Chain A
Amino acid sequence: MEEKTSYIGRMLSANARECVVSSLTQQKDIPAFGSMLRIPMGNGQPEIYGVVTDITLEEDGFLRQIASSANISEEVIRDTQENRSVPIVIRVSFIGYTEGDRVLHLLPPRPPVTLTEIYPCTVREICEFTRKFGYLRLMMDVNHLSAGELLAVHLKDTAKAHVQYGDNDWAQRAVEEVMDLLGGDPAGLIAVMGAIGDAELFL
């Protein structure tokens, strides 16, 4: 049986489309760009699903001092990278929510409250949420980055999850959906397919 994941941070701010999360984790453990996160609201409220669309590693005064030093020992660099908690801010775009067993690929009715815990999705959760493709519409509407880059990594990782559950054709169906959504935008379709091609999704 698949284990539940541990929360990776708490929500700082949100609007109807996205939220910003402060990560607790060290740099090497931060969730990957394009990976799916779960935001449980509790009290019978919907469980919101989102996808990581940006990650910011912020500096503080001490880090600036170290970086401006002439000679930094290897030990200090490794200690800073591996042990020291620097502020990490993750931007998460909402791609749907669940109500009981129902999966709805729509923006959540209201954003989560601040300091809500955020969890990475398990393989099972990924597969259940992405069985249908309506959420891709929301993912492609994220406007602060290239849809192709986001889709490429998301589809590659999600396809792997579905393969684990025996669905080998998921990637093909997902690409078909993306092409349908981009039917009226040939230039966008070529760009997105270029990114998907570079992700070697079908290999």
Chain B
Amino acid sequence: MKSEEVRNTGQIGYITGGSLKEGFIARLIVPPETVQEGSFVVVEDGPRVFYGLVTNLKLCAADPRFTDAHTMNRFPPALREQVAAHTLYTEVEIMPALMQNIGYAPGTPGYVPLDKNVDPEPLPVKMVPPHHSPLRAAERFDVANIFGSASDPKYFEVGSTREQGHPVAINMEKFVQRSSGIFGSTGTGKSYLTRMILAGLIRSKQASALVFDMHSEYAYGNVSPDTHTQVPGLKNKMPDRVKVCAIGTGGKVGGNHPDYDLMLEYSDVTPEDVQMLTRTLNLRDTTATTLFALEKSFGRDHWLQSFMELKPGIGEGTVSDWAEQNNVNIAAAESLQSKLNRLYHSPYLVEKTPYNVVSQIVNALENGISVIITFGKYQSELDYLLVANILTRKVRAVWEKRTEDHLAGIGFKPNPLVVAIEEAHKLLSRDMASQTAFALIAREMRKYSVTLLVIDQRPSQIDDEIMSQLGTRVSGWLGDETDIAAVLSGLSGKDSLRGMLSRLQPKQEVLLLGYGVPMPLPIRSRLYDNEFWKQLLGPDHDDRALPEESDDWLSN
């Protein structure tokens, strides 16, 4: 096919073989450099179209002799070019993802109105296109047809296709229906992408978000390590839709006063919370027995304070005395008390809080306001694990009750809630997953309208069962094979996607996968810049909150 003809039809190749199991094979009629791995391509077969991803490109020759430059150089240049065009070619392997019955266009030969029994929506691929079916790159229309249009408020434009730059949107309604994950190695723009997705989620009003912001980035922004400029946070840009809650009292976050100061009571800490901290506090194997005895002895609400008020030494009111009376190993009890000192003396943990911050947080979340828990100076693993777990447990309990009540005919169905956790492997590791509030959310809370948004750079460290529960996955570049395998766990076509994931550009390129997207697709993620906020909030949005912001925070 002549290049002009190719330009006019958009055809880039034609089907030469393949199977449902191994994917389709097509021969390119355009130069190999015009197509890349991960390209979104369309195979047209009369009334049907097949949508797929290029998973491999292969340079082929009619015979190995034609790849020998010495042989080819024997021919004059014009003839050499012609022989090369005829004998050397590129094959692409395509992972078919969806097919759609679109029928023939009215006015074309073969046009008949679509049968009512034929589903015109994109469906999983169950057949193969015939030989020589034309292959073309996906057009803007195809991308919008499959992924949806960002002009619909339910959709959020997360990026664009890598070659043609067609906008790609994700359906936020589907995104919040199941737990999801955002992954990528350090420096791949994971937190900017999370910020954008959270902004899209908040704007879409599909759910409120409870964000555990370990590194204090999401609320008031931070200084970009790449451009060294101040990058705005969600509170800066959406002050009416976002509340900020800081751990401890009287603290400022980046010079800003938070909406709430989070204080917890001793009674909030359960024996399970302590067990979850086994590694962090270097607790012994006997801890579980001791905690059981403490709960039995002092009650679930008072065990911590009562235990920590026991004195050291011998005699009445001492740890050893309590241990003897409760058949607990004295050394184990004394060791546990010593190790719990750090937790007990955390400044945000008190006997009685002046007001109930948790209910204020719950109230905000129930009213569609998102809450960012920013850890400020309390960035240790102990603080993060303890606070995130206690708060999530409490919020989750409210959502459970609201849903049960609603099912019993009392009150309204609670607003969907997304709990976003950074450094998720700390809370969802294999040895800890069963003890945290988050594992239950990933596994069972969908029916209570609570889902997780897991943000992590080491997905392989997250419990397999939880990873398999993640619906939508957005992943930047990952170098480690085990991390790649974890991101792809439970998905079909993972062998094809593995290479694609490992060959993403280190910045700005991400792979969309899973339940929330109709088919896997590598995309160029949007830039987190003024243009993003203008598009999201409208051109008149108030950005006075940031006096010296750069127009392009991720321009590198």
A172 touching B76 by the CB < 8 A rule?
A: no
Assess A197 versus B82: contact at CB under 8 Å? Given A179-B87, A183-B62, A186-B62: no
A186 touching B66 by the CB < 8 A rule?
A: yes
Q: In the bound complex, what is the Cα–Cα distance between A190 and B72 (angstroms)?
A: 9
Q: Is B83 an interface residue (CB 8 A)?
A: yes
A193 touching B62 by the CB < 8 A rule?
A: no
Q: Is A176 an interface residue (CB 8 A)?
A: yes
Q: Is B331 an interface residue (CB 8 A)?
A: no
Q: In the bound complex, what is the Cα–Cα distance between A194 and B83 (angstroms)?
A: 11
What does the 1/0 interface line of A162-193 toward B look like (CB < 8 Å)? 00000000001001100110010011011001
B71 touching A202 by the CB < 8 A rule?
A: no
Assess A186 versus B79: contact at CB under 8 Å? Given A176-B86, A194-B74: no
A193 touching B66 by the CB < 8 A rule?
A: no
What does the 1/0 interface line of B63-85 toward A look like (CB < 8 Å)? 10110000100111011001100
Residue in chain B with minimal CB distance to A185 = B63
Assess A197 versus B62: contact at CB under 8 Å? Given A172-B82, A179-B87: no
What does the 1/0 interface line of B285-324 toward A look like (CB < 8 Å)? 0000000000000000000000000000000000000000
Q: In the bound complex, what is the Cα–Cα distance between A151 and B269 (angstroms)?
A: 92
B65 touching A190 by the CB < 8 A rule?
A: yes
Residues of A near B76 (CB, < 8 A) are 197, 200, 202-203
What does the 1/0 interface line of B237-250 toward A look like (CB < 8 Å)? 00000000000000
A193 touching B79 by the CB < 8 A rule?
A: yes
Interface of A is mostly: helix
Q: In the bound complex, what is the Cα–Cα distance between A187 and B83 (angstroms)?
A: 13
A189 touching B82 by the CB < 8 A rule?
A: no
Interface of B is mostly: helix
A177 to chain B, nearest CB (A): 11
Q: In the bound complex, what is the Cα–Cα distance between A197 and B62 (angstroms)?
A: 20
A142 to chain B, nearest CB (A): 22
Q: Is A52 an interface residue (CB 8 A)?
A: no
A179 touching B74 by the CB < 8 A rule?
A: no
* Size class of the contact patch on chain B: 10 to 19
B87 touching A197 by the CB < 8 A rule?
A: no
Q: Is A196 an interface residue (CB 8 A)?
A: yes
Residues of B near A179 (CB, < 8 A) are 82-83, 86-87
Q: Is A201 an interface residue (CB 8 A)?
A: yes
What does the 1/0 interface line of A68-90 toward B look like (CB < 8 Å)? 00000000000000000000000
Residue in chain B with minimal CB distance to A179 = B86
Residue in chain A with minimal CB distance to B83 = A193
Q: In the bound complex, what is the Cα–Cα distance between A203 and B63 (angstroms)?
A: 27
Residues of A near B75 (CB, < 8 A) are 193-194, 197
Partner of A189, one of B74, B78, B87: B87
Residues of A near B87 (CB, < 8 A) are 179, 186, 189
A60 to chain B, nearest CB (A): 43
Q: In the bound complex, what is the Cα–Cα distance between A35 and B514 (angstroms)?
A: 67
Partner of B79, one of A180, A187, A201: A201
Residues of A near B79 (CB, < 8 A) are 175, 193, 196-197, 201-202
B63 touching A186 by the CB < 8 A rule?
A: yes
B82 touching A176 by the CB < 8 A rule?
A: yes
Q: In the bound complex, what is the Cα–Cα distance between A196 and B86 (angstroms)?
A: 15
B62 touching A175 by the CB < 8 A rule?
A: no
B74 touching A197 by the CB < 8 A rule?
A: yes
A153 to chain B, nearest CB (A): 16
A174 to chain B, nearest CB (A): 11
Partner of B78, one of A180, A194, A202: A202
Q: In the bound complex, what is the Cα–Cα distance between A197 and B73 (angstroms)?
A: 11
Q: In the bound complex, what is the Cα–Cα distance between A179 and B80 (angstroms)?
A: 12
Q: In the bound complex, what is the Cα–Cα distance between A196 and B82 (angstroms)?
A: 12
Residue in chain B with minimal CB distance to A183 = B62
Q: In the bound complex, what is the Cα–Cα distance between A190 and B86 (angstroms)?
A: 12
Residue in chain A with minimal CB distance to B78 = A202
Residue in chain B with minimal CB distance to A184 = B62
Residues of B near A201 (CB, < 8 A) are 79
Q: In the bound complex, what is the Cα–Cα distance between A179 and B82 (angstroms)?
A: 9
Q: In the bound complex, what is the Cα–Cα distance between A51 and B18 (angstroms)?
A: 44
Residue in chain A with minimal CB distance to B71 = A190
B195 to chain A, nearest CB (A): 56
Interface residues of A in 37-72 (CB under 8 A from B): none
Residue in chain B with minimal CB distance to A175 = B82
Interface residues of B in 254-275 (CB under 8 A from A): none
Q: In the bound complex, what is the Cα–Cα distance between A203 and B78 (angstroms)?
A: 9
B82 touching A186 by the CB < 8 A rule?
A: no
* Known A176-B82, A189-B87; 6 more pairs at CB < 8 Å: A179-B87, A180-B86, A186-B87, A187-B65, A196-B79, A197-B79
Sample of 22 A–B contacts (CB below 8 Å): A175-B79, A176-B82, A179-B83, A179-B86, A186-B62, A186-B65, A186-B87, A189-B83, A190-B65, A193-B75, A193-B79, A193-B83, A194-B74, A194-B75, A196-B79, A197-B75, A197-B76, A197-B79, A200-B76, A201-B79, A202-B76, A202-B79
Pick the 4 closest A-B CB pairs, nearest first: A186-B63, A202-B78, A197-B75, A179-B86
